[in-house]
Structure 1
Amino acid sequence: MSRSQVAKRYAEALFQLAQEKKALAEVSSDLKELVKVIIANPELLSLLSNPKFSIERKKQIVSEIFSNANKIVVNTLELLIDKKRVNELTNLAEEFSVLAAAAEGAADAKVFSTRALTDAELNEISSAFAVRVGKQKLNITNEIDPSLLGGVRVQIGNYIFDNTVASKLAGLKRTLVG
């Protein structure tokens, strides 16, 4: 995760506003959708950063595309356009996600595996690892990585729990070779 101080400040302000308006879940959901749209259409971010278009035109495009989104999210996006900080949007969404998860007593986690895990497996991983990091639950994203050979690697913030065949083989190699 990027540790952009600018994104962190915007995320904290957005988080406080969402809490005041009692729209934390809605804002969080809208930000996740916004990031999905930007990842799927990187040209949108290029367009919003392009100096050839006026700020008013960019705001008009944003309000048309995200007309169903929470007004707080749209206003934040317009503020980023005003301040020429649109490139911080994905970092802002990541920082906001961390703040929202912490407020719920949860943490975001990535579980790397060789195949898609079932809901039961994800719940088991969530309950086992949430205790290790002092949280009530984990919001897990399962990422497929065939290079692991087997097992899982769990990343929660700065913590990495690696129980993969690839890491065990690497450890065995270090032990044998020296």
Structure 2
Amino acid sequence: MSDLAVAKRYAVALFQIAKEQNLLTQMEEELQAIKQIFSEQKDLLAFLEHPKLSKSAKKEVIANSFSKLSEPIINTLFIMLEGHRTGEIKLMAEEFIQLANEENSIAEATVYTVRPLTDTEREAVSTAFAAKVGKRTLKINNIADSSIIGGIKLQIGNRIFDGSVSGKLDRLSKQLLS
């Protein structure tokens, strides 16, 4: 079974528990943190996957490191450890977040601008583009990128809305050359 399929199964099970216990928002925030930790702390994953270390030592590290997390998430981490699936923890967190976003009609967007957006600008971008993709709101990850010269470039999933000056110049250059 592929890593993605395994991660999806764990995420779906955890998502159902979250809905039943009315902990969807809390567990989504906790899994955002887990996703970030497993993205940044490669040593933690290496430790959890080390074949010579005992499962009890690994469980202790999980219990101590993630003691503030909800019980269903810690139990899921333990189950994944038992099943030698620690490599899929980050993927599972991403899948859960995607399920939670679908449930709440939210899309994640990466917005490239010359300078960081203000809260008012974030709200305006969210309102304008959420409707275009059929969602209620957008979670915006703003990246300052001086190479776009001006304007805005927005990516939601595999869709790109390019209203940047550099994008317009590229399109104009292609038109002139054809």
The normalised TM-score by structure 2 is: 0.91
The normalised TM-score by structure 1 is: 0.91
CA distance in 1, matches of 2:107, 2:118: 20
Aligned to 1:47, what secondary structure does the other structure show?
helix
Matched-pair contact (CA < 8 Å) for 2:35–2:94: no
Runs of 4+ in 1 over 6 A off after TM superposition: none
Shift of 1:27: 0.6
Task: Give the 5 Å matches for 1:33-72.
Answer: 33-72=33-72
| CA shift digits 1:61-85 (9 cap, x unpaired) | 0001110111111111112211222
Unaligned runs of 5+ in 2: none
Residue in structure 1 matched with residue 90 of structure 2 by the alignment = 90
CA distance in 1, matches of 2:46, 2:146: 32
Q: CA RMSD in A?
A: 1.6
Residue in structure 2 matched with residue 112 of structure 1 by the alignment = 112
Matched-pair contact (CA < 8 Å) for 2:39–2:90: no
| CA shift digits 1:35-77 (9 cap, x unpaired) | 2222332211111111121222111100011101111111111
CA distance in 2, matches of 1:119, 1:31: 25
Residue in structure 1 matched with residue 173 of structure 2 by the alignment = 173
Identity, % of aligned pairs? 39
Shift of 1:6: 2.1
Unaligned runs of 5+ in 1: none
| CA shift digits 1:131-175 (9 cap, x unpaired) | 111111111111223332222221222222111122212111211
Residue in structure 1 matched with residue 77 of structure 2 by the alignment = 77
CA distance in 1, matches of 2:84, 2:169: 48
| Change beyond 3 A, Cα 1:162–1:17 | same
Range with bigger deviation, 66-75 or 154-163: 154-163
Range with bigger deviation, 164-173 or 63-72: 164-173
Shift of 1:126: 0.4
CA distance in 2, matches of 1:4, 1:167: 34
Shift of 1:31: 0.7
Aligned to 1:4, what secondary structure does the other structure show?
helix
Residue in structure 2 matched with residue 135 of structure 1 by the alignment = 135
